Amino acid sequence: MGRARDLANILSSSGSVALDSEMGLSLITPTSIAVTSGSGSISATGAVSFTSASAVSLNGCFSLNYDNYLITLSDTGSTTTQSLNLRVRANGIDNTSTNYYGKQYGGNSDQANITTNDIVGTSLPIGIAKSGEANSCDISIRNPFSSSLRTHIYAGCSFSDGTNGRVYTYGCSLSVTTSYDGITIFPASGTITGSIRVYGYRN
């Protein structure tokens, strides 16, 4: 009876309780969001939804409570294929300096079409925003809130171009040791519609 009652308590509680107890992940509610050229909202559980946004910013996601984070992103774009980008931010301001150094790997199911590109820029590409196709990204961020360690970001993205399934991976290290508490996601052009969830890995 005790196990049945404990299971019932987990299933009837918020999603973060089950994740804490079984996977070591907690769904984090941002303290605020800012959506450019569109609309957005935060659900009671912490999920962020946005519509027709040219940029989506989440504030107050990272803290001393966790060292490492998982961000899940699902979106569709308003235009033909455009790159989707990420910046880290602190106190409501994006890091727009040339501090993002890394690599990009990508291509379709044909191994001969895989490409490799260096990344040195003012943001990290993390995926594709494409009209009529769903894009899915899993983004890992290490030590974003630390002011003594560099922030490391790894993103894996998959989408369909109508003929082939495509997979891209991206990784970068920030060249500065700044403490960040949030992120901004934005397409190179057009707008995106979708959802974002931020999870903290239990220390």
Does 57 fall in a domain?
Answer: yes
Does 1 fall in a domain?
Answer: no
pLDDT of residue 167: 79
User: What value, to the nearest 5°, has the Cα angle with vertex 78 and ends 77 and 81?
Assistant: 60
pLDDT of residue 112: 46
Does 14 fall in a domain?
Answer: no
Smallest Cα–Cα separation from 64: which of 170, 188, 179?
179
Does 5 fall in a domain?
Answer: no
Please tell me whether residue 4 adopts helix, strand or coil conformation. Answer: helix
Does 121 fall in a domain?
Answer: yes
pLDDT of residue 18: 43
Predicted model pTM: 0.83
Does 7 fall in a domain?
Answer: no
β-sheet bridge partners, residue 192: 53, 77
- Dihedral sign for Cα 94, 32, 30, 168, please: negative
Mean pLDDT in each 10-residue stretch from start to end of the chain (203 residues)? 45 43 82 96 96 96 97 88 90 97 72 66 87 87 97 88 74 96 95 96 88
Amino acid 49 reads S
Does 18 fall in a domain?
Answer: no
Amino acid 74 reads S
pLDDT of residue 131: 82
Quickly tell me which residue has 């495509």 as its tokens. 166
Q: What is the pLDDT of residues 30-48, one digit of tens each?
A: 999 999 999 999 999 999 9
Does 3 fall in a domain?
Answer: no
Q: How many residues does the chain have?
A: 203
Range of the domain at 153: 25-201
Are the C-beta atoms of 25 and 140 separated by less than 8 Å? Answer: no
Return the CATH number at 145.
Answer: 2.60.120
- How many domains does the structure of the chain reveal? 1
Please tell me whether residue 11 adopts helix, strand or coil conformation. Answer: helix
DSSP assignment of 106-140 equals EE-SSGGG-EEEEEEESSEEEEEE-BTS-EEEEEE
